[in-house]
A and B are shown apart, each in its own frame.
Chain A
Amino acid sequence: MALSREQLAQRVAQELQDGFYVNLGIGIPTLVANYIPEGMQVMLQSENGLLGMGEFPTEETIDADLINAGKQTVTAVDGASFFSSAESFAMIRGGHVDLTVLGAFEVDEQGSIASWMIPGKLIKGMGGAMDLVAGADNIIVTMMHADKKGNSKLLPKCELPLTGFGCIKRVLTDLAFMEIKDGAFHLLERAPGVSVEEIVEKTAGKLVVPEHVPEMTF
């Protein structure tokens, strides 16, 4: 079975480490916050100027001056700090964030990523995504392995305008967890019940498959 949105978030959460500062993108990455292991201390960075993002507020504590990068009202945890957008991107560009999780339309075997524009169809803007992929060393991209028609989103070369060039090293899709190195996707794990054959079939870019591909565990 392909992973659900919740399972994608759960699998990413397994990569968290105690003491990490983490930036979670909009969509599935946001859900990772729900699966931070008990007893682990992780600080969430929101690029609009908050380090130490907490859960959503109650009706009583809602504050128009306190939102996340998705413009949702949030809270701040004890030990949080607020700062300007310039300071926020100094953290990001300067490589101070330990883990960045974001979505994508396409990723290719060179580690390039496209996530901000579909010419003629959709122009949302890149927001902070270009800065995040350029500044972070430890990035996990969460995305669908293929579109609804079965066309692969893991390509030899991205077809859409790029967000970043050669900067992605790890990709988690609904079918597989992969590392990108030496110009190829390397299959690390497969979703429970998903065959290596299906992953091979739905990966257009070069894919290196080891002898044994373990199933993800949750």
Chain B
Amino acid sequence: MAGLNKVVASYDEALAGLTNDMTVMVGGFGLCGIPEGLIAQMVKTGVTGLTAISNNAGVDDFGLGLLLKSRQIDTMIASYVGENATFEQQMLSGELNVILTPQGTLAEKIRAGGAGIPAFFTATGYGTPVAEGKETREIDGRHYVLEPALTADFALVRAWKADTMGNLVFRKTAANFNPMMATAGKVTVVEAEHIVEPGELDPDHIHTPGIYVDRVIQGKFEKRIEQRTVKSTTDKA
């Protein structure tokens, strides 16, 4: 690594410094936009006691589901656990500590974390179990819950294109949580589908400026589809 060239050559290098009991953010919505190779590398390192922050937990045999299966995650912060039987079973047995967080609140907690805002008030979850034990306040006649920001030791992000300086472009709905997470990691590692030279990305079209990014690795993606729906089944949606 030299200067602002953030490209690393191996997954070992990409996750160097990841140790037991760390907090890791992982981008993606379902299996869409997940950093597949970085997740596989986490399994390989064998680190345990992780706190994982991710909207979902993948499925049983792909995505973050792999780390649940290998019992490397202690605590999971997510909004939805529906598609993963291992997750549901570990949560019900109490083996896994799960902090269910409303999706928009989760996104904003991460955005706030990256932007240096320690907490914010939101109406989301007021009067529900999510607000239990949290400070509330009435502002202009409406009730709000104080939600603390989230940051992580590592943020694992998937991008469509990255230049070697870490400027990122996401593609379609594979962006999801990736842009915010890129800003909220002490070490942000980007697994990109394509790595290009500085100047090849139009500065007007960059979604995440390179200042947030520490390492970039060329990924190889299976891009598994969770629910393959095509036109002929439209009426059964």
A interface with B by C-beta (< 8 Å): 30-31, 33-34, 46-50, 55-59, 62-68, 70-74, 76, 82-86, 88-89, 92-93, 112, 123-131, 134-135, 161-166
Contact = CB atoms under 8 A, between A and B. Distances in A.
Nearest to B114: A86
B94 interface: no
Contacts of A64: 31-32, 174, 223-225
B122 A93 contact: yes
A161 B173 contact: no
Contacts of A135: 104, 123-124
Interface residues of B, number: 60
A62 B230 contact: yes
The dominant DSSP class at the A interface is loop
B88 interface: yes
Given A131-B102, A162-B128, A164-B128, A58 B81 contact: no
B124 A93 contact: yes
B161 to A, nearest CB: 12
A30 B236 CA distance: 10
Contacts of B227: 67, 70-73
Interface stretch (B11-19, B42-50, B177-185): B177-185
Interface string B193-224: 00000000000000100000000000000011
B22 interface: no
Contact of B125 (A84, A127, A134): A134
Contacts of A89: 103-105, 107-108
Interface in B81-96: 81-83, 88, 91-92
Contacts, number: 187
Given A58-B230, A92-B104, A125-B78, A65 B173 contact: yes
A127 B91 contact: no
Contacts of A59: 230
Nearest 9 interchain pairs by C-beta: A165-B127, A89-B104, A131-B104, A130-B102, A64-B223, A125-B80, A124-B82, A85-B107, A128-B103
B70 interface: no
A110 B156 CA distance: 43
B105 A131 contact: yes
A65 B170 CA distance: 10
B176 A49 contact: yes
A73 B29 CA distance: 13
